[in-house]
Structure formats: structure tokens, C-alpha cells
Amino acid sequence: MTDATAQARSAEGHAHGGHAHQNQWALFLGAIGVVFGDIGTSPLYTVKECFSPASTHRVDPTPDNILGILSLIFWSLLMSVTVKYLTFIMKADNQGAGGILALLALVPTPKGDKPGSGLAGPIVLLALFGSALLYGDGIITPAISVLSAMEGLEVATTTLKPAILPLTLGILLGLFMLQKRGTAGVGAVFGPLTLVWFIAIAVLGLRYIILNPAVLAAVNPLYAVHFFMEHKGHGILMLGAVVLCITGGEALYADMGHFGLKPIRMGWYLVVWPALVLNYFGQGALLLQHPELATNPFYALVPSWFLYPMVAIATGAAIVASQALISGAFSLTQQAVQLGYFPRVNIVHTSKHTEGQIYIPEINRALLVACVWLVVSFKTSTALAATYGIAVTITMAITSIVYYVVVTRRWNWPVWKALPPVLIFLAIDIAFLAGNIPKIAHGGWFPLTVAGIVFTAMTTWKTGRRILAEAFKAEIQPLDEFLGEVAEVKPHRVKGTAVFMASNPYGTPPVLRHHFKHNQILHEQVVLLSIVSERVPEVPASERVEVENLDNGFFRVTARYGFMQTPNVPSVLAACREKGLVIELRHTSYYLGRETLLPTGRSKMSKWRKGLFAFISRNARPATAYFGLPPGRVVELGMQIDL
């Protein structure tokens, strides 16, 4: 999923937007280790879910069925990953960044319209729901990847079967506990470790392809067509298992900002795609000879002497895939906060050198609890596979729709040019979605439930903040009028600087009005500071701060941040020195407003959503901590607001 994986950026010393100047081969290796972790571990369970007797929707491992499934897998990888994402979708980058929220930021808002109105409204809601679904994916991927890897122990010896669940839970617990330490050191080995994984699965598959080269006939799409003609409705249901081979495809787009398009394409064409195809076809060749091994065809490829090392390699690859999705959830949350769709959370920067390497304790704890619950509840990768796929297919379909809006409304492509590829992509996405719908009753409800909760919280927060902004705007005093009042009254001025956080750069902050009204004094320097979130990934430090002298000791400071950055007020004030405004931070006081929300107003928000918004507001991270303000120098003035 994810705009993930700042750990690899740190490992490669990569800053956003700077990959054009870096060693492409180093970025290629980093992309191998991070971008392809999720899709790279799919051979552990994809073919098994198509033929295993334990699978809910399966087919018998007959030669025709084996070749039909392999043909579906081959053409799914080709059309969904190679053509859709690498050829089309990844061209829609937001200053080099990718992912569904970065794509949403490219959707133009007609002049004079509010974000969320007109066409932008449904598209925003679609993209938000797609991003919410990625949280469900971020929970399932660690659980199914690690559990699938550990199930190789059962193939080695049945005596280890009772140890599979405890070992899986131990690995997941350790993985989540390590997040707070940052992943720069681990990131340095991600590339080589995952490269070993891809080489290993390619060699294992090639062994059996050489023994049974007839399996290569599955490249012919007619085998897939024949499979559908023979199985009809059940053939569509089998797409619910086949889709597992492309889970993680969205990560290619999401991680583009960290590595660049060229290294990702190099990794896919030179290593990942060939290795995946060789392994899938190797599993098919094995089943053509030994259909009785359908219970776990991946580990059936492995010679007995290499079984334990392969379990170790698979576990390492699963941890990489899990780390990518966990980091992706952190990055997605940071973007949502900056774009105004999520309340403030505790964003911890785990690297002094890489701004994008972050850790969010609240999200980490939620993911850990959900992952542990999934493993304990579903117990096997086959049972977990029923939860996997529905979120991915819906997100892919939403990405196709938002992509169409961007290329037609922002790039001004004619419909005849934009519509044909999007219709092909949507046809594939909808076919996969149809195959996954029956999974809802068997576990697919889980990612949908997670997405529903996150989506409700995001839209409630955005709507509530908009209503608050309108309430403030209705009562806000024009700044010129307030400055005229100050010039007329000539209040006593005390030494030092007072910083008032201003959501509206051109109005008088309510906190400033209350302070002046009740205290009748002002500081020698009064700074009205506005933090503006831009719809771009990052704003360079050289362009971030603007200072305007309003005379009489008043200054307006505007700091602009991208949706992949976290504001820091002391650093903004320090940067003002270069703009001619000297602020002694040790003699500076910060004034903030704290709203008490009363769900008794006349806004159109329903009563339960008012209560939810008030609850989220009370539990959001305080602005003091989020903006990096020194707690001992902050003055908060309370206000009651009717929603």
C-alpha cells in the first residue's frame, strides 16, 4: 500500500525528489527490498488457494485447470501490474510522489468551489474510502505473510505444527515493538535479503519447468478463456484466489516517490516479474506431475535438505513485506493529517537525516492488536486468504476512476484517448471484485469493517473542521480593523514575542482578540503564524516561510508544508531570521485556542457524528505537541462552540 518505506530511503540516503541524482542501481536494490515485498511473497499462498482441499472455492488440480489458473496468473501480472501500473498509472505522479492520496491531491477543484463540491465531491469520497481500505490491507499482509512462511515448518515435520501460531505471534510482536527504534539499520539489508528470496524462488520454479516444459503453454490466453468457458460462474469465483498474485501492486505506485519510476521498472522487469512467473509456473509443473501435493505446492518445490533454510528466507521476505505495509500505514496517516482528513497524532521522526522516516505509536498499537487478533482467530493462511483481496480490488478500481479524472480534468486528455485504457483496467478490476464478493461472508468483512470505521472517522473529522472554520469565519474580525484599533488604543507593550496561531492568514485570530480584550497589553513583537498544507508531497525549506511586516510590531508569517511533512513551529520561527524577522525563542510565548465542542448547534451534521467529532477532538494530539511548541511557554484560551 503504501507511500511507505521511509526506512529504505534512509538506507539509501535518499531524500524525496532527489532520486534522479542518485545511483540508479542502489535505488534499484532498495526498491527490490521494499516496493516488491508484498507482491513478492504472494507465491507462498496464491496457487495453494486455487487447488488446496482446504480452500473454500477451489478446483481440482487437473491439467486443464492447472494451465487455466497459470494463464490467469500470468495475464493478471501482465495487465494489472505491467500495463496498468507501470505503463499508465505511475505516470500520474504528484511531484514524484504516488499513491491514492497523492493522486487525489492532483484532482483539480474548480475555481470558487469548495473542496468536496461538484465532481470533486464523489471523487474525494472514493479516494478516501480507497485509502481507508489500505489500512485493512496493512493489517492482513503481515498476518498472512508471516503465517504462510511459518507453515513451511509443517511441511518439514508435523511435530512442529503446534509451534506455528506461537512463532508467528512472536515474530509479529517483535516486528511491531521494533518500530519505535526506526528501521534505518534494518532497511540496509532489505534489498539484499529480498533479492536472495527472488533468486531462490526463481531457481526452485525453474527446476520443475525444465522437468516439465509443457507448462509454458499456459502463456497462451486461450487456456484462461477455456477455463472460464468450462467453469462459468465458478471460474469468476476463482478470481478471488487468483487476485492474490497481484496484491501489493498498489505499492509500486505508492512507493514511487521514494525510489523513482526507473528503478521500480528495472526491479520489476529484471528481477521480480521473471522470478514470480518462474515460480508460479514451477508450482504448476509440479502439480502436473504430482497433483496430490496441492496442499502446499510452494514448499513442495523445495528439496528436503533446503526446507529449513527456505523457511528462514521466506520468513525474512515476509517481515520485509510486513514492514513495508506498516511503514505505509504511518505515511498514509501523516498525509491524511496534513490534508485535513485525520486528527493530529503523535508523529515521531526516527531519523535525524530522513524526514520521511516516521513512527506513529497510536497506529502501531492498533495494527499490532488487529494482526494478533487475525492470527489467533483465523489460525491458517488459507483461512486468512478469505480476508485478503476484497480491499485490494476495490482500491485498484478506485485508483482507475481517480486516474481518469486526473488525466481528463488536469492533463486535458480527450475522452477518446483516456477512456479505452481505463475501461480495460476497470473491466479487470471489476472482474476481480466480483470474484472476491463471496469472500465477504468468510472474512472479507474484516477489511471492509476497518475501512468503514476509518472512512467514517476521516469524513467526520473533515466535515467537523469545515463547520468549525465556517463558524470562526463568521465571527472573525478583519485584521486591518484590529490593527487600527491597536493603533488608536496604544496599549502597553511588554518585552518579548507573542506567537498567535492563525488558521485564517488574513483575519484576526480569536485568541488574539480575547487576549487583547481581557489583558489590555501586547508584546513588543506579535507574530500571526499560519500553517498552510499544500497539495504537494514536500515544500522545499527555501520556499517554506513567508514574512510580511504589518507595522506597529505586527508580523504575518506563513509556513507552507507538503502532505508528507510535519510542521514544526520553532524551526519556522528560526527560519524567519533570514527573512528579516529576528525572534528570540527563549523570550517567546505561544498562544493557542482550545475549543470545547457542544453538539447542540444548528449545523447539518447528525447528532451521532457531532458526538463522534467531539470525541475525536478530545482525544487528538494537543496542538502544543504536534507543532513542536515548548510546553512551558504555551498559553491556551478556551472557547465553547456549538456544532
Burial of 11 per CB tally in 10 Å (0-12, 13-18, 19+): buried
Q: Tell me the backbone φ, ψ of residue 541, rounded to 5 degrees.
A: -55, -35
- The C-alpha atoms of residue 601 and residue 547 are separated, in whole angstroms, by 37
Model's pTM, two decimal places? 0.83
Grid cell, residue 608, equals 451521532
Closest CA to 498 of 488, 509, 489, 487: 509
d(CA 439, CA 194): 30
* CA atoms 263, 198, 271, 81: torsion sign: negative
Q: What is the largest CA-CA distance in the chain?
A: 94
Q: Taking residues 213-226, report their average pLDDT.
A: 96
The C-alpha atoms of residue 4 and residue 255 are separated, in whole angstroms, by 6
d(CA 216, CA 74): 10
Distance set, CA 408 to CA 21, 86, 88, 125, 274 (Å): 31, 19, 14, 19, 34
Q: What type of residue is 454? A: V
- Cell numbers found for residue 411: 492533463
Instruction: Label residue 94 by pLDDT band (50, 70, 90).
Output: confident
Query: Other C-beta atoms within 10 Å of 102: how many?
Result: 27
Q: For the segment 341-381, what is each residue's pLDDT rounded down to a tens digit? A: 899 888 887 665 555 567 889 999 999 999 999 999 998 88
pLDDT digits (tens, 9 = 90+) for 422-478: 999 999 999 999 999 998 988 889 999 999 999 999 999 998 888 887 777 777 888
Predicted confidence (pLDDT) per residue in 266-312, tens digit: 999 999 999 999 999 999 999 999 999 999 999 999 998 899 899 88
Sign of CA dihedral 466, 469, 474, 479: negative
Give the model confidence (pLDDT) of 560-588 as tens digits: 998 888 888 999 999 998 888 999 888 89
**Cβ atoms within 10 Å, residue 480:** 11
Domains by residue range for the chain, with CATH: 6-463 (1.20.1740.10), 477-642 (no CATH)
Strands (E), 441-599: 477-478, 492-501, 507-508, 521-533, 545-551, 554-561, 588-598
Tell me how far apart the alpha carbons of residues 586 and 17 are, in angstroms, rounded to a whole number. 35
Query: Bigger pLDDT: 79 or 358?
Result: 79
| pLDDT the model gives residue 279 | 97
User: Between the CA of residue 415 and those of 104, 193, 428, 438, 574, what are the distances in Å?
Assistant: 20, 45, 20, 34, 49
Distance CA 356, CA 363 (A): 16
Dist. CA 246–CA 77, nearest whole Å: 6
| Residue 643: per-residue pLDDT | 67
